[in-house]
Every structure is written in structure tokens, then in C-alpha cells.
A and B are shown apart, each in its own frame.
Chain A
Amino acid sequence: MILLRTENLSKSFTLHLQGGVRIGVLDSVDLSVSAGECVALAGPSGAGKSTLMRCLYGNYRAGGGRILVRHDGADVDIATADPRLMIEVRRQTLGYVSQFLRVIPRVSTRDVVAEPLIARGVTVEDARDRAATLLTRLNIPARLQSLPPATFSGGEQQRVNLARGFIAAHPVMLLDEPTASLDPGNRAVVIEMVMEAKSRGAAIVGIFHDAAARDAVADRLYHVAPLAEAA
């Protein structure tokens, strides 16, 4: 079953501060991802892989075409969904692991990770327990879990971000460089977590610069070509 597909998706940016110059990034993207499948986006730097990911999450507004996500038994078009439906789709269905953690002042690491579960109605204690388990699995020691992640190293913040992204087990997951800046031990844990997500039936789209990680988890590649070359 297809959980995520795009139809003729295009995206360009109009830079009003630079005299209205228009930069085309994506054109006629047709991507489809089934339950239990991991598709890796391939293409040179600057081809638009991250732009595509952000469109899929609704973080960037699609310029044209449709982005259909299977949500609550029906297809929702991310390109046109109103903000409140979008928030609901993100809460229940569509998860995104970005490269950088957006730190919230004073909120402990455990609570940062537990938040997506609490938003879904899981009790605070239960959510915190599950957050602690996942953080421990990602080698964030218990003594750090009660601190806000603001002072953590880049690699530690990345792992906190991963825990936050994986804890809610979204049916559709977008992974932007999930193994970047991780040591081999933690990379192996993340690969294991992606494999588990696939086996529970998640549809995954990822950007992996780390070829070994990509080969370990991806079922196929989707090539994103820079527009100038494609034309």
C-alpha cells in the first residue's frame, strides 16, 4: 500500500528582495513510497533533495502538483491542506527528522523527546519512560537526560533529535541525514531503528550521504536532478 506519493510536484522560489528573481528547484517530481519501504533520495549537492523533503513535510509550500499522504484512512494533499489539518497530519502520520535540533530553553532532554507522544495523549510518565529508554539506546546517559540539550555536543544533539523523531513511530517518516555526525556505534543503532520502522510498516524517505548507511536501509534510489541538467 502506498502511503506517500507526489504527482507532478514542482517548487520554485521567488526572491522579492533580489528583484523578484525566480529560482526553479523541482519540476514534475513523481515519487511514491509504500508501507515498509525506504526510498533514498540521490543526486548531487544542490539538486533539491532537501527542498523535496521540506515540501513533503509541508515546511515549504508546493508550487504545483500534489503531495498525497495516507492519513487516518484517506489521502490528504499536503500541497493544499489547511494549517490545522497539517498539524494533525504531523502529529499522527508524518514525522520528520531534520539535521539540527531546535533547542527549547529550559526544557529537559527527556521532555524534548517525550513531547510528540504527549501531544498524542500518552500520559506524561509513560512518555518520559519511553523517552528515557530510547535516549539510553542512543547512548545519551541518564545523567544528561534531565538537562536541556542546549549545551550538548553536535553529535549528542543529533541523537536527541533522532530520539524525538523516532519515538512516535509515525507511519510516514522523512529522514534528512540521520547518520551525519554520528560515530560508528551510534550509526549502527540508527540503522537498526530505521530497519525496525520498516518492519512495522513505515514508509520512509531519506537523504543519506553516508553510502554504507544508505545501502543498509534503502530499497531503492530516487534521483533528484538539478533543473538545469534536466531541461
Chain B
Amino acid sequence: MDETLLSGRGLSLDFGRIQALDGVNIDLWPGEVLAIVGESGSGKSTLLNVLSGRMHPDAGTVWYRGPDGHLADVHGMPEPALRRLLRSDWGFVHQNPRDGLRMTVSAGGNVGERLMAAGARHYGNIREQAAAWLKRVEIDPSRMDDLPRTFSGGMQQRLQIARTLVTHPRLVFMDEPTGGLDVSVQARLLDLIRALVAELRIAVALVTHDIAVARLLAHRIAVMRRGVVVETGLTDQVLDDPQHPYTQLLVASVLQA
């Protein structure tokens, strides 16, 4: 409980004249769901990309503590080691399922492929596990051999979640996972993510602009504005008693349903 799983220290990144990240320090502990909130352009997706090694910072370090307790410098490790991490210990759920799925491979294949990448070889077991995971994300296993493009947006997103979680990662990055979905579809997906994350005790770094999503899923919130984390704390405390002017604006701007 006392050791962080992932830590970013002094992370900075410029895109030309725009400072996307400006000296960000951030920690994530095992089993914790951290929501990174802020408006478009605040740098939250950039932070997620830097934390997950997909984008290099101009300055700063990202530390990841492996299952053996050893600290690894995410941006200092060789490319194959990082790819191995992204295939096994880590997962990434994209806003657009097309970025996380292989659209020319069947639903079952999408799930099985990640198992195989993590070392599974027995075809029967792989197919069985893929079917079990489709069921878990509420996709009828009879759709197993269908291509993802025949699925609705919500189903595609659930398939992406199954593909990501099948290897039991310790850490999952999520970028607006409910972004492009209808509200009713969102609720179903959120409930599914909530249940799976709690059951598997996965740590999640979740980027969202939706305060309600953060409240439902996150233990802790970091509020970003112009590349800086302006406030961080317990989810309900940050949302119910925001201290920073920008957080107050963000919370006050939410329409009450």
C-alpha cells in the first residue's frame, strides 16, 4: 500500500509555443482509480500518453514499479521492453475503439490475440477464455466470429475492454472511454468498468472531461489546466469543496440533470 505503482516527476512537453505539460508531478498507487479531469486542451490526454510511454516528455521521468518491486524508467527502457509492458502488465483503452481493436480480425480473435501476445499457445483454451470474456462484457459469445465493424459503438467499446483486461493487467490507461457513446450506452459501460476494476483490483489512470464519470469511478482526482495540475485530492472532496478557482468553475459549469 505504501509504494506507488506509477510516478511522473517534473513532466514537461511543448508543442511549438503551446506548453502541453508544465512540470507535472503525479502518482498512482496499486488498485487505485485516478481521474485526470480538465477541459479540452488542458493537457490531460498528453499526460496520459506520456505516462504510458506513448509520447516522450521534453523533461521529467516516469517511474513504473514492476511486480518484482523494481523501479523502471519508462522512457529510459529499450523499445521492446516497453512494448512487452504494454502487452502484458499494462493496457490502454482508447476513446475510439477502432484505435484499440483490429477491425479486420474477429471479436474472439481480438481478445485471443492479446492472450497469445502474452504467451498463451493452446488454441482451445484461448478460444474458451475469449468466449468467457465476451460474456463478461455482455457480448453474446455467438458473435465471437463476427468482425467488430458489424458491432455497435457500445459493443465495440466493450470488446476493447475485454481485449485489454483479458491478460489481467495491473495498470490500465483509459482516454475518455465513454466519450462518443449515447448516454444509455455510457451508463452500461461505466457500470461494467466499475465492477471489473473493483473485482480485478486494477489501477486505472482515467482521462475524462465528464465530472460525473470521475465521481462514479475514481478514488482520486487530479484537475488539469494549461498543462499544470492545479488541484488534486479525494474525489468527493475536490468535487464538493473545490479550492482552486478553475476547479470551482469546472464544477459550477456542470448542468444538473
Contacts and interface: CB of A to CB of B under 8 A. Distances in A.
Interface residues of B, number: 23
B241 A61 contact: yes
A60 B244 CA distance: 14
A17 B250 CA distance: 11
B147 interface: no
B188 interface: yes
Interface stretch (A83-91, A153-161, A173-181): A83-91
B220 A83 contact: yes
Interface stretch (B66-74, B76-84, B232-240): B232-240
B191 interface: yes
A156 B233 CA distance: 32
B187 interface: yes
Interface string B165-192: 0000000000000000000000110110
B245 interface: yes
A54 B240 contact: yes
A16 B245 contact: yes
| Secondary structure of the B contact surface, majority rule | helix
A86 B236 CA distance: 11
Interface in B102-151: none
A59 B240 contact: yes
B187 A105 contact: yes
Contacts of A59: 236-237, 240-241
Contacts of A14: 243
Contact of A83 (B187, B233, B248): B233
A61 B233 CA distance: 10
A36 interface: no
Interface in A97-136: 104-107
Interface in B205-238: 216, 219-220, 233-234, 236-237
B248 A58 contact: no
Best-surrounded residue of B187, B237, B245 (most CB of chain A within 10 A): B237
B249 interface: yes
A105 B237 contact: no
Contacts of B187: 105-106
B241 A60 contact: yes
A14 B248 CA distance: 10
Given A59-B236, A87-B219, A105 B190 contact: yes
Given A59-B240, A87-B234, A17 B252 contact: yes
A84 B32 contact: yes
Closest 7 pairs (CB-CB, A-B): A16-B245, A105-B187, A83-B234, A60-B241, A106-B191, A83-B220, A16-B248
Interface of B: 1, 29, 32, 187-188, 190-191, 194, 216, 219-220, 233-234, 236-237, 240-241, 243-245, 248-249, 252
